[in-house]
Chains A and B, each alone.
Chain A
Amino acid sequence: MPEGYDALVVGGGIAGMEASLTLGDAGFDVLLVEKEPSIGGHMIQLSKVFPTTDCAGCITTPKMAATGKHPKIKLLTYSEVEGIEKTGKKFRVRILKKPRYVDENACIGCGRCEQACPVLIPKEWEYGLIGRKAAYIPFEMATPKKALIDLDNCIMCGRCERACPKEAINFLQEPEEIEVEVKAVIIATGYNLFSPEKKKEYGYTGNLTVIHTSANPNIIHGMQMERLLAPSRPYHALVRPGDGKVPERVAWVLCTGSRDKSVGNPLCSRVCCMYSIKQALLYSSAVPFGEAAIYYMDIRAFGKGFEEFYNMVRELGVEFIKGKVAKIESRNGNPVIIAENTETGEIMEEEYDMVVLAIGLLSNPEAVKALGVELDQYGFVAQPQENSNPAVTDKEGIFVAGTATCPKDIPDTVAEASAAAAQCIAYLEEVGS
């Protein structure tokens, strides 16, 4: 008999954690499956969150800890749902646990393997702003705080194995097939970021080290800016990647990869206006004499307290320019924005020390493929009863929360995660045990 749970939650970002905690607190057994080596999702990477400017870590870290040690929640990280099949009232779920090449039970997260490893490659979690080793702990607050080995970049020198005090390194670890039986499922698979390379005229290449005309490292994207503004930021200072200079003039380009059919995404990403406004505020307090400008089409400050936040930032002197940016060029290593100011009709050419592309949120259809629910034309999970019951999918017993259905901000995501948990509880109580 496979292990049984009341509910499977797919995805360990803020939505998945919130749903799991609600279910667990109400007394249900939950299996939380996360494809990355740690739970936390995108939110743990953010700097501070609008409109309260709470630091993201201050909210996420304890949620991660609570999820990790909740007696009713079993955590499977670095694992993916491979298939799901409904038999009677239950779902039989196949899960693939990817090898960490580290014995999770033995590892104490001391980081000695990381120190010993001689390989250095860009750290995904910091969006390449700094490096990581091939043997590594994903990030400081990772839950579980366990190492893993990136075999693709490993040179098999064996130094980590010798450094480990717990003999936890195991290069022979195999992927593990796990089968479980659950009564209900919550999808909280989140979103993918738009790749700004696709917007060629904006000159982002992802190359953060070399300055030449076509690749300007001082054009970064919104998530990189989040990292630069986070309390745990990579360089412990707000500097631009190209040369370590403190950027004195920074511009944000809204709707990069959103509301833009030329890159295949006609939708609005809902959060970029507000995160850029917030970043401009954080930038202004980090660099008090800096100038901040935001190029926008419409400012969509629609949530509770958002308009007030926008007004406050505007009064602080952040410049708002209504205009679609046509092109970003480079001059002496500085990005130059060429845009049409929609309100004056003028063509503007402005040089900045750094440009932040406010990239949008896209669907993540790969992550839900195995679950067999209906998707909409954009690859988001479809909500057949969205006006009256947004948490249900086309499959009975499978619920959905957060950005799996559409880009959205954290308050809306948290509300939906609880809503999905409520639907799940009602369903579980009805189907009985």
Chain B
Amino acid sequence: MTRKILIFAADMAYRALDQAGLLHVHYSPNTVIIRIPCASMLRPDLILHAFQSGFDAVFVASSGPDCPFMGQECVGKTAKRIEKAYELLDEHGIDRNRLVVAGVCSTCVETILGTVERLEEVVGE
């Protein structure tokens, strides 16, 4: 079975993924993108659900401080969700390194490439 990384892409991060396409850069195709407006909507149990459903890693690509809904506030709110998600992962014996959150602005293509590469290493080939 192919290793799979789930990317929850908030508004700005989704634009950055578009930007990556326009620039024709490459990253791992073992990625599935689910579009959400803002990372603050992610319930920690949904993140756990992704692992239980068969994903090997989850990348929460938030809009960071560029969030069109709440700006800087987004960082703190998202962090709270992720903190809870980490606790859930611990409870279920899932390696914390398989969950990464990053603020991705609309042109932050490098952040996407770097994070996906890191997660690829964590989950192995």
Contact = CB atoms under 8 A, between A and B. Distances in A.
Contacts of A53: 22, 24
Contacts of A54: 22
Interface string A145-183: 000000000000000000000000000000000000000
Contacts of A285: 24
A228 to B, nearest CB: 19
Interface residues of B, number: 2
A388 interface: no
Contacts of B24: 53, 285
Interface string A32-73: 000000000000000000001110000000000000000000
Nearest to A52: B22
A53 B24 CA distance: 9
Interface string B1-32: 00000000000000000000010100000000
Contacts, number: 5
A319 to B, nearest CB: 21
Nearest to B22: A52
B93 to A, nearest CB: 45
Contacts of B22: 52-54
A52 B22 CA distance: 6
A52 B19 CA distance: 9
B82 to A, nearest CB: 33
Interface in B65-105: none
A53 B25 CA distance: 13
Nearest to A53: B22
A148 B78 CA distance: 59
B17 to A, nearest CB: 15
A52 B24 CA distance: 10
Interface string B33-65: 000000000000000000000000000000000
A269 B24 CA distance: 28
Nearest to A51: B22
A285 B25 CA distance: 12
A54 B22 CA distance: 7
Nearest to A54: B22
Nearest to B19: A52
A285 B26 CA distance: 14
A93 to B, nearest CB: 42
A285 B22 CA distance: 14
Nearest to A312: B23
A58 to B, nearest CB: 11
B120 to A, nearest CB: 24
B108 to A, nearest CB: 16
A54 B24 CA distance: 11
Interface in A285-344: 285
A184 B123 CA distance: 64
Interface in A51-106: 52-54
A179 B54 CA distance: 67
Contacts of A52: 22
Interface of A: 52-54, 285
Interface of B: 22, 24
5 contacts: A52-B22, A53-B22, A53-B24, A54-B22, A285-B24
Q: Which 5 A-B pairs have the closest CB atoms?
A: A52-B22, A53-B22, A54-B22, A53-B24, A285-B24
